[in-house]
Structures are given as structure tokens and as C-alpha cells.
A and B are shown apart, each in its own frame.
Chain A
Amino acid sequence: MLQGVAAGAGAAFGLSLVPERLLASPVSNSNPKRVIFFMQNQGFDPKTCIPEGMTGSSSLANAKLPEPISALEPFKERLHIINGLHGIHTSPSHSAFFGALGGYRGSDGVPPSASTIDYELSKVLPPTLLPHLCIGMDSIENMTTKPTIATLSASGAGQPIFMHSNPNHLYQMLFGGISTGDIRLQHEAKSNLLNQIEMLAAANGQSLPSAERLRYSQYVQGFSDLNGLRNRLDTVSDHLRKFAPVVDERYTKPKFETDWHDILLDLGISALTSGITNTLTIGSGRGEIFGAWKGLGVEQQGHNLGHMDQPDNPIWIKIRQYNSRMLVRIMEALESIPEGSGSMMDHTLIVYTSNNADKQHTNGANWPVMLLGNFDGAFKTGCFTQLDGKRPINSLYATILRAAGQNCDRFNMDDKLAKKFDDGTGPLKELLV
């Protein structure tokens, strides 16, 4: 959510950067990259994504994708299935929580011990109005009672990033300027409030000794950034209108939680296609070991879903197919927006995996991942890669950081840990072109 605003305040809100420039405009000559993390909870069993009979690395061209991900069949030239990364050090049984994207030990109630990869990428990618957006999908009860929680992303040790689960709030934040009705009123009231808070905060800084002013001015600047973001979003409202989803009944009267999942995804996609952000994290099941998908006809919810073997399980086939359709929606939307000599999708990387490695009760020895898109030609696609289980998910994250332009050999892994948990160093060459 808005954390990125703060984190990127210095770079992202320089006065010289006009909003159009920050919108990662599709007409720009440069190729602004974007990255999406889709984290399904309860594990990602490799059998549900690796084509039958495929054991070693090979092309997917002549293979048939398994039923759970069959929706990706038309997109398989963009797909790269990776098996054999590990996350033993993240203690992923019952979810690694922040550790899944951080590559460090996580567990229920354990605060993040460092920043996570999505946040780091949001800093490396070209500045956008909102450097990083996190959305979380859960049971309807959880999404209404706890519309924001923080379980997956972090900007540093002890600094969790909240994810959005109430689409009404999220719509107001992203598209309040072009909203109507109740959302409009809320947007206006909040705008007024934030302006007043900024004024009060600034007035309270007047009396500070000079030595304290600088530190306090960062506080005031924070409000200035928030108000600035809103104003800038307002100034590009014509542009945003083209991308904003239409608010319908599902926002206020969802029949199932999956209605909200769908519109949260719409909002996430709009934030990408409109250029408001270029880093999106989706937590399906919000990093925990529960979650519900009643709209798919999955009557069971919660923990039991994790106790089932996923392959050939009708419930998990439904959930994974639903995920796959979501991935397709993202790709189709990004393909429809021209960018450079191709489309937005050409410069995008989608990382699909689980915050729970391969299954709910796991030691993390295998952590399957699917990549979609080649990130402006950086990643190989249309193939399956079997790794030897000796490199951690951290190495995948280091690889993406490299491809995003950050020179880094390891992500959140010092030499001492690497001695135990990483057989190599630098990016995963098997993945890069």
C-alpha cells in the first residue's frame, strides 16, 4: 500500500518529476519494467504444475500443462516452471510469512527480520506514483474485519507493509479523484482531513530548535507526499479514467469472497496498466494458513485445505485454476497496453509461488515457482527448469534484482548462511537468457 510512498519519497516525489513522467507512460521510449508476486497460501505442489512425465529441464512447447494450470496453456511460451529451489532456512511449515519473500526465518507472530524482495524491487524499478501495492485475498469475514494486515511484505527489520483487502478502501485510495457517490464523499473528507493535518503538523514545526527541524520536517514531508500523491492522481484523472474499473454491486454486496478477490485483482491490474505502480504483491490467503474460495464451489475453508494432498484433488484443482485464470487476466490486460515496440507484458515478470513452499507441512526442501513473462528479454521462457535443490529462493530474488538492474549476488543471505544454504553465488544462470 502506501508504504512505498514513504520509502520512495526522496526519489519518487522529486518536484522535477511531473505526474505524466511518473505514470510509467506507455508512450515513453524507455521500457519501464514491472513485477508481480502472486503468493498462494498452503503450498504449491510441483505435481500440479509440471507436465506429466517431465523430469529434467526441457521445453514446454510439446508438453501439455496439468489440469490445475491448464488456463496457462495458450501462454506457455511466456511460462517458465522452476522446480528445485529450496527454502529450508525460512522454516515454511504453516507459512514462512515474511520469510517467503524475505528469504529468512518466519513464522506466526514473528516480525520481519529484513526487507522483502517486492519492496526492494519497488525501489530499484523506475519511480511511479505509488511504488508498491499489496493486495490480500481471504475469507469475506477476515477481509471486512481486518481490511489491512501485514504478513508477507516488509520494508525492513520490524517494518511490516500492510496489504489491502477491502476493495472500497483501495478504490478510494487509487481512484478517489474520479469516483462518484459515497466513495467520492469519503475521498473528499479524507483529502480535507489530510490537508488539515499537514497544516497543523507544519505549524507545530515552527517552534522547534533548528537542530530538530530537519528530523521533524520529514514527518511533515510525509503528509505533503500523501497530499501530493492525491493531487497528482487528480491531475491525471483523465488518464486514470481509462483504466479504472467500474464500481459495481460486488464492492458493497459481495456474494462470495471471490467477488472481492476478483475486484481486488481488477484494482491491482488497473494500478499497473494505468502506470500508478509497477510492483504488485498479491497474497491469496494473505500469507496465513486459512483462506476461503466459496465462489468456486469450495465449501471447505481454512486449515483443512492445507491438510489435503493437492495433486488430483478437486478442491485444489479449482483453486489453482482460479489462480491461473487470474494470471491470464493480468497477462491479457498487460498485453493490451502498447509499450515501447511491444506491450506492457513484454516488460513484466510475474512470479507465482506459495508462501508455504510445496505444501502446508513442509521443511521447504522444494519450493516450486512459475515465472510468466521475460522481463524485457531477461528471463528464458517456454520451458521447465529442474534445479538440484541446493540454491535457495533468495537466489531467485537476487536473479530478479539483477534483471531489474541492481547488481547483487545474494539477497538477504550473508556468507555464513550461504555456506549452509546456497551452493552457488550470483543469479540463477539457468533462468536468464
Chain B
Amino acid sequence: MIKVRFGLVILLSCGLMSVASGEAYQPGQKVDSDYGSFAQPFLTSHCVDCHGETEPEGNLSLHDLGPVDEVNAATWKAIWAQVSLREMPPREVTQPDVVERLKFSDWVVAELTRVMHDKGGFHAHHDPHKGNFLDHTLLFGPLPDGIKLVPTSSPARIWRVTPQEHITRLNELINTEPDFDPEKPGLRTHGDVVPTNHGGELKLYFGTDRIIQWQGGTVAYATSVKSVPAILSSARNHGLENYPDFYTVNSAEATQIMGVAEDIIEYMADGPLSIAQPYQITDDPKSIADKMKGDLRGLPTSIVYSTKVKRPLTPVYDLMKDDGVTDDRLRAAVDDLFERLTFRPPSQTESDEYLAIVKQSIEKLGKRDGAVLGLSSIFLDRDALFRPELVEYGKPDSHGRVMLQDWELGLAVNHALRYIKPDEELRQAIVEGRMRTKADVKREVERMLADDTVRKPRVLRFFRDYFDYDLGGYICKDSKALADTGVKTRGQSYYRAMFDATASTDRLIELILHEDKDVLKQLLTTNKVVATKAENVYFGKKLSREERLAAEAEAKKSEVEIAQKEAAELEAAQKEVTELEAKLEANSEEKATQRQLAQKKKALTAVQKKIAAAKKERRGNQNSNVAEADLSGEKIYSRVSRRSFGTGSMKPDRFLATIPEGQRLGILTHPSWLVSHSDAMDNHAILRGRWVRERLLGGGIPDVPITVDAMLPDEPNNTLRNRMRVTTETYCWTCHQKMDPLGLPFEMFNHAGLYREVELDKPVDTSGEIIDSGDPALDGKVANAIEMIQKLAESEHVEQVFVRHAFRFWMGRNETIHDAPVLQDAWRAYKDNDGSMNALLVSLLTSDAFLYRTRDVRAFVEVN
């Protein structure tokens, strides 16, 4: 056995020498070798020693794996991951050189792609979670010998809009959002996204800007208001939400879009009249009291709309408001609606086609129904649902790349920052042929970045995707486990607090972006917090048993004092009444006394009421489990949804405060992030550690092997750290050492995000370790999350990893080694401008990766 292997090693070395001494390798190019001549020797040389026929490591034999086929595809995928991540071969044995490793990885990907083509395809290398499989040093270190880079570009593609982009686009048709108010820059305004509602659902609301009265409480309002949920699907869990190749639109979605389109067109034409009776539209609700009799809660007829027209009045309105149809009015409606939905004017052909469709419908159904139905077709235009970057008309350069231009370039730049259509200046630039060069892009990007009135929700979206702090409200908590954290569990208050917390963190990030200095470092280490009053609990400290008992005793004591005071006040008021009553008994005719008595009786009732209310409030606020934080400070605002839930809707009011010192540091210690990385019962140290490993250290985690039953023991009396002992077994630890020691320092918080010093009545262990980070200066033990964050925030390596994630978000794909110059430039721009996100964005958006497209990726490989 040993002899045979030795022979193969010699053979393989000879083969590889020819690669090394030949032409430089251009990663991504087709490897013209088959299994027998290329992959098998690699396996034999580097893998079979341990993964051989007898007693193989990890029970995995590779000696007779054979060429890639659909049966062994999963094994090949695992090999690809291990080799790309340099997990294998193990460090202590001879390593393949860089070119050999890259070439092998490329070969496996090409083979898996070929073999799985008609079996669901192979997409793992396009998955953003696998972006880090490309070694960081290849991108930011010196280029190794034997590798040739080519000028980069992205594939020509269509990019489906996200549910939020879609809803925001539709919202523009029926709602006029307020202009930006420099005095209250945090309030939601025109150009901001339609956010999720009180329950975390993304919905389009009709007519809420005109509702002046309704019947019933919060749920009644939510039921009676017309709203439609997002139709396009999104499978986002953690990480980047949308690469161009993630989604399409299925027929169910198309049908539903058409239904919603008709509702929207009718609302564009008639406003609230399309969903209400004429009498419901009045500025004097009292005048229709006779119509609003009885219990109308939950009915659309319980709503009163003001007479003030708020929605945009567009050519669709012009078309519908008068009888009759003219070609001009029809075409104006078609063209305007087309641009509102696709963000560009229609071509003559497109305009003609839709005009013909609308006319046919009108012919069949008459003007009103026909126009509504016919115009709804535009909502299903390809470019209303997908943004094209197809470079159909440009001439390829010597590398087969074509630069985006005109509308495609303008809309790409617009989409990089915005959810709504290009503003007038950008539109003019496109129309006048001033969106064709890198300088054009720089001009527009810099202009938009500098202008606060131009809202740029996509930048915030990046930070949501990068940090994943917006998922807390969607994690269904076990009631008892939640109660144990110290927070109140009554009703939906906890979930509402989580959605509020997301909006708060959004706003904090915006404030840091506004400063635009050391952005990442600030995000990681800021001592600022944006919060509602309710968040005092979540930013508070969970008390230990002793502290709780002391707090309860204290509360009891003060309750006694307050009660005495109240009793005295009540007695005094009562006494006055009694005295006056006695006086009146003696002389019942005395008018002045009668008046006085009435007043004093009123005062007595007021005192009784006041005391009862104060008692109730004390009872409601009493929470001896938690020492609440005192988050007070400047009054600011956050961007929350339109009223979706009556009086219980989310409120924009926030405080800009300072976090309790020594307990928190930066947004990784805010409840929004912590809870987003928790589960029903407890903290999720593995997920938190994984986040740090991937998003800050740039490491990759292979998929969990299917043989692993990934369950922690269910031991309620043991800490999470203790229960995670099972991951330290050799088989698991290879991967888990990359995550667990980075996640466990966050044990200084419980799973609702409260700071704690004890867990299960013992001092909580918050120690951890940064292992094999890629930057030796970072490696080492840490006492808790704060110490770890402080260390990481100082690292250039971490900054570079952040830049890699920004690249992925804005390019819509994983980086390749050919993007190294783009990434280095972007990081340099960030660094040289004192950690400016704006500088980073300008660099990325004027890079070849952003500006150039390649129509035929195969031809691209051949040309280069």
C-alpha cells in the first residue's frame, strides 16, 4: 500500500511540475484535464493517505471515488469546500501550492456544474455564504507567482426586485410620502422604504394617509384598513438577501400581482372612493353619525377619510376622471405608468404594444373596466419585476466586456442606493447621454451621497444584511424561557419591542453613516444607542437572585411609603367632604356650601382616580428582575411604518442615549443583534460565533455533514456553554473551534439581550478565544465580548473582510481572484478617507466589476 502511494506521488509531482513551469494560470479558466489525469492524482497525493481504503479518517474513503457523477456529487462538494478553505490537506502535511489548489478547486466546480446541469444545478460557489471560500490573502496579499489576472466584469443579467423594493415601488403609485425634513431627519420620508408593520409583515397600505377616524381598537383598525401583503417571495434568513440569480417570479405571484395591480389602478383613479362609500369621505365625521351607527369594528365602513387628496395624481387619474377615451390620454397613461413601474420610459414599440393591449381590453369591457384590466398588464412587464443589465448594444472590449450605459447604467447606479425611480437630475443625465463613463458615475454617486434629501435605503439594507440585526421579532420565543430573561411576556409586547429595536438600530447606523468616519469601527464600538422607553428593559441588567430580593424589599418599602402618603392625601380630601356635608346637614339651604361640596367631591374622586392609576402603573412597571437602563437624551426619530395597527402602531419617537458603561459596546451588544442571533430557548452562541468568523474574520464554514445530528443536549439546569461541550468532540471541533469560542463571549447577555453577571445562580463565564483568525495579532484569549470587539475593531484584516461583503452586496455576486484590484482599491479608498463609507461606495461603484458586463461568460474565458 505504502509503496503504491509513493509511486503515485512521484507521478503526480511530475504532472504538476508541468503545470507550474508552463503558462501562468488564470483562475476560472477551463481546466483541460479529466479525472484520471488530473483529479485522481491530486486525491492520491494529498488525500488518500488518510482517506484510504482501510480505517479512513472521518469514515471517508476517497481511493475509489471516481469522476464526478450525481451519486458522489455531495462528496465532491465537500472535497471542494475542504480544499478551497485550506482545511485539507491538514496543515502538518505537505500542501499543494497555490496554483495547484486553485486549479483543483476550479476543476471540481466545473465538473459539478457540468454533471448537475440538468439535476438542479450546482450553485454552491455562487452562494454568498461561500464567498469566503476564496482565500483572503489571495485578494489582499501579494499575487502569487504563476497566476494571471484579467480585467474583471460581472455577468450580463437580470436582477429580480426584492419584496421590499417591489412594495416600495407600488407604494409610490398610491401614496405621497412626506418630503425630507432637515429638522427631523430620522422620520420616514419620500424615498425611504416601506418598512414592515407592527407584526413584522411587509404590506402595502391603501388610504392610511387620509384616515381621520375609525371604530374600535388596534386590531379593528388593522382589519378594516385595506392592505395587501408582499407578493414576491424571499428566502432570506441570515446574510445577503438578494443576488441576481436568486429568484424569479412564479405564476402564483404573477396572478396575484395582476390582482393587486387592478386595485392600485382603481385607487390611482378614485382614491379612497375605490375602497369606501362616498359618505365616508368627509372632514366632519359628526355629520355622518347616522351612518356610523352600531358596531362597525373591523369593517371598511368604520373608517372616515378626509377630503384632502393626498395620492399622486397621474395621467392614469386624468384618463379615468372624465368620460370617453382619447389616444393621447391613453398613451400618456401607458407611458407614465410604464416609467413608474420600470423606472425608464418605454420604447416606441413598448408604448405601442401596451396601448394596443389597453385598447383591446376597453373594446371588450368598456372604458373603465377595460382600462383597469389593460393597464394592469404593465405591472407584469419584465422590467417592472427584473432590472436588466444586458449590455445588448455596446461593443465588447478586447476582454469581451461591455460597459453599461445610458438607462442600464443610470438604473444600476440608482439601484445601488435607491428603491424609487431616478431623481430628475439623474434622469436628465441619462436622457442627455451623460451616463456613459466612469466620471459620469462618479459625479452622480457623489452628488447623491452628499444630498440627505436623496434617501438611500439600499445602503441601510446592506448593513441589515451584513449585521443581521433585523431578525429578532421573527424568532418565536418559548414563553417560559422568555420570562426567565426578565422581560415581560404579556401579549405581543416582546415582539413589538423587537421590531422597534430593529428600527432603532437602523437609525443608529444612519447616524454613524452621517458622520462617515471610521464607520465600521464606530458600528462595532459606539457607546451611543437609539432607543424607545421600552428598550430600557432590554438594555438593562438581569438581576441576580440576591439583587432581585433586595430590589423587591426596596420596592416594598417605597410602596409602603407611597401608600402612606396616598392614604394621607385621601384622608384629607375625604375630611373636607365630610366637614362640608356636616355643615350642610345643619343648614341644607346654604348655596355656597353646596357648591363647595360639589367641588370637593369632584376633587375627592380625582384623588381616588389618581391613586388608582398610580397603583396600576406601579404594578405594571414593577419588574424586580431587571435593573433598567436609563436611556435618556436627545429626542430623535426612527423610520417606522405607516399606521398599521390603530393606536398600537409603531411610533417613531426615540432617544439618542449612551449605553451603560462596561456592559455594552457597539451594535453587536445591542438586543437587536443579540436576539437576532438567538433561538426560542436560549442564546445561539454558534450562530454568533459564525457571524464573527464569517463577517469579521473572513473565514468560511463548510456545510454541516449530513451524518451529524446537530443537537445540543436538553439540560435545563446546565448553562449553554456546558451543553455545548458536545461540539468539542474531535469530529465536531474542527469546525466548531472556528465559531464557538467567538460566540461564547456574548454569554454576558441573556437571550432577550439583557446584560447579566450570573447564570443559573453562578457567575457567568464569558471567556472566549480568537483562533486562527488570519491575522496573528488578533489571535488569543478574550475575557468577554467587549474585549473581543475592541480587538477586532482595530484590525485592518477585519476592515478588508467588511469591504469584501460590501463588494458582494453591490456587485450581486461573490468576488473572484480577478476582483482583487477592485477590492484593494475599495479598501484603500475607505482607509485613506478615514474610514469613509461614501469613499468606499464611490470606489466600488466606479470599479470595473460594477461598470462592465460580459454577455457570454464562456466566450469571456476563451478571449482571456
A: which residues have CB within 8 A of B? 1-7, 9, 89, 94, 104-105, 107-111, 113, 139, 141-142, 145-146, 148-150, 155-162, 185-186, 188-190, 192-193, 196-197, 200-201, 204-205, 207-212, 215-216, 218-219, 221-223, 225-226, 288-290, 300-304, 415-417, 419-420
Q: Which residues of B contact A226 (CB under 8 A)?
A: 251, 254-255
| Interface membership of B16, Cβ < 8 A | no
Quick check: B251 and A223 within 8 Å, CB to CB?
Answer: yes
Q: Which residues of B contact A158 (CB under 8 A)?
A: 163, 230, 233-235
Residue A155 contacts which of B223, B247, B252, B644 (CB distance < 8 angstroms)? B252
The complex places the Cα of A5 from the Cα of B376 at a distance, in Å, of 20
CB distance from B176 to the nearest CB of A (A): 22
Q: Can you pick out 25 interface pairs between chain A and chain B where the beta carbons lie within 8 Å of each other?
A: A2-B251, A7-B252, A94-B219, A107-B199, A109-B198, A109-B201, A109-B222, A110-B200, A111-B202, A145-B226, A148-B259, A156-B233, A159-B233, A192-B364, A193-B360, A193-B361, A197-B380, A200-B382, A207-B390, A208-B390, A209-B155, A212-B158, A212-B245, A416-B680, A420-B478
Quick check: A303 and B255 within 8 Å, CB to CB?
Answer: no
The complex places the Cα of A155 from the Cα of B158 at a distance, in Å, of 25
Q: A108-B199, A192-B361, A209-B156 are in contact. Are A216 and B386 (CB under 8 A)?
A: yes
Q: Which residues of B contact A212 (CB under 8 A)?
A: 156-158, 245
Quick check: A109 and B200 within 8 Å, CB to CB?
Answer: yes
The complex places the Cα of A303 from the Cα of B233 at a distance, in Å, of 32
CB distance from A217 to the nearest CB of B (A): 9
Quick check: A193 and B377 within 8 Å, CB to CB?
Answer: yes
Residue B259 contacts which of A113, A162, A221 (CB distance < 8 angstroms)? A162
Interface residues of B in 359-410 (CB under 8 A from A): 360-361, 364-365, 369-370, 373-374, 376-377, 380-383, 385-386, 390, 392
Q: Which residues of A contact B357 (CB under 8 A)?
A: 193, 196
| Interface membership of B116, Cβ < 8 A | no
Q: Which residues of B contact A300 (CB under 8 A)?
A: 295
Quick check: B492 and A107 within 8 Å, CB to CB?
Answer: yes
Q: Which residues of B contact A162 (CB under 8 A)?
A: 256, 259
Known: A145-B275, A210-B856, A212-B157. 19 other contacts (CB 8 A): A109-B197, A109-B200, A111-B229, A141-B299, A141-B301, A145-B276, A158-B233, A186-B373, A189-B369, A193-B360, A212-B158, A219-B248, A219-B249, A219-B254, A290-B298, A302-B298, A302-B299, A303-B298, A416-B714
The complex places the Cα of A197 from the Cα of B199 at a distance, in Å, of 35
Quick check: B155 and A211 within 8 Å, CB to CB?
Answer: yes
Residue A193 contacts which of B203, B300, B374 (CB distance < 8 angstroms)? B374
Quick check: A9 and B251 within 8 Å, CB to CB?
Answer: yes
The complex places the Cα of A109 from the Cα of B276 at a distance, in Å, of 22
The complex places the Cα of A109 from the Cα of B361 at a distance, in Å, of 36
Residue A304 contacts which of B199, B295, B365 (CB distance < 8 angstroms)? B295
Quick check: B377 and A196 within 8 Å, CB to CB?
Answer: yes
Quick check: B255 and A2 within 8 Å, CB to CB?
Answer: yes
The complex places the Cα of A276 from the Cα of B365 at a distance, in Å, of 27
B: which residues have CB within 8 A of A? 155-158, 163, 197-203, 216, 219-220, 222-224, 226, 228-230, 233-235, 245, 247-256, 259, 275-276, 295-301, 353, 357, 360-361, 364-365, 369-370, 373-374, 376-377, 380-383, 385-386, 390, 392, 474, 476, 478, 492, 495, 644-645, 679-681, 711, 714, 855-857
CB distance from A99 to the nearest CB of B (A): 9
CB distance from B710 to the nearest CB of A (A): 10
Q: Which residues of A contact B492 (CB under 8 A)?
A: 107
Q: Which residues of A contact B233 (CB under 8 A)?
A: 156, 158-159
Quick check: A160 and B199 within 8 Å, CB to CB?
Answer: no
Quick check: B373 and A200 within 8 Å, CB to CB?
Answer: no
Count of inter-chain pairs, beta carbons less than 8 A: 215
Quick check: A146 and B254 within 8 Å, CB to CB?
Answer: no
Q: Which residues of B contact A108 (CB under 8 A)?
A: 198-199, 219, 222, 645
Q: Which residues of A contact B156 (CB under 8 A)?
A: 209, 212
The complex places the Cα of A225 from the Cα of B380 at a distance, in Å, of 15
The complex places the Cα of A201 from the Cα of B384 at a distance, in Å, of 11
CB distance from A143 to the nearest CB of B (A): 10
Quick check: A185 and B219 within 8 Å, CB to CB?
Answer: no
The interface centre, meaning the residue of B253, B275, B380, B495 with most chain A CB atoms within 10 A of its CB, is B380
Q: Which chain B residue lies CB-closest to A419?
A: B714
Which 7 interchain pairs have the tightest Cβ spacing?
A: A109-B199, A222-B251, A290-B298, A6-B252, A3-B252, A6-B250, A189-B364
Residue B364 contacts which of A3, A111, A185, A218 (CB distance < 8 angstroms)? A185
The complex places the Cα of A45 from the Cα of B202 at a distance, in Å, of 33
CB distance from B466 to the nearest CB of A (A): 21
The complex places the Cα of A253 from the Cα of B296 at a distance, in Å, of 21
Residue B369 contacts which of A186, A211, A225, A420 (CB distance < 8 angstroms)? A186
The complex places the Cα of A205 from the Cα of B383 at a distance, in Å, of 11
Q: Which chain A residue lies CB-closest to B357?
A: A196
Q: Which chain B residue lies CB-closest to A110?
A: B199
Quick check: B299 and A110 within 8 Å, CB to CB?
Answer: no
CB distance from B860 to the nearest CB of A (A): 11
The complex places the Cα of A46 from the Cα of B377 at a distance, in Å, of 49
Quick check: A113 and B474 within 8 Å, CB to CB?
Answer: yes
Q: Which residues of A contact B157 (CB under 8 A)?
A: 209, 211-212
The complex places the Cα of A110 from the Cα of B201 at a distance, in Å, of 5
CB distance from A287 to the nearest CB of B (A): 10
CB distance from A362 to the nearest CB of B (A): 14
Quick check: A109 and B644 within 8 Å, CB to CB?
Answer: yes
CB distance from B159 to the nearest CB of A (A): 10
The complex places the Cα of A118 from the Cα of B275 at a distance, in Å, of 30
The interface centre, meaning the residue of A158, A205, A301 with most chain B CB atoms within 10 A of its CB, is A158
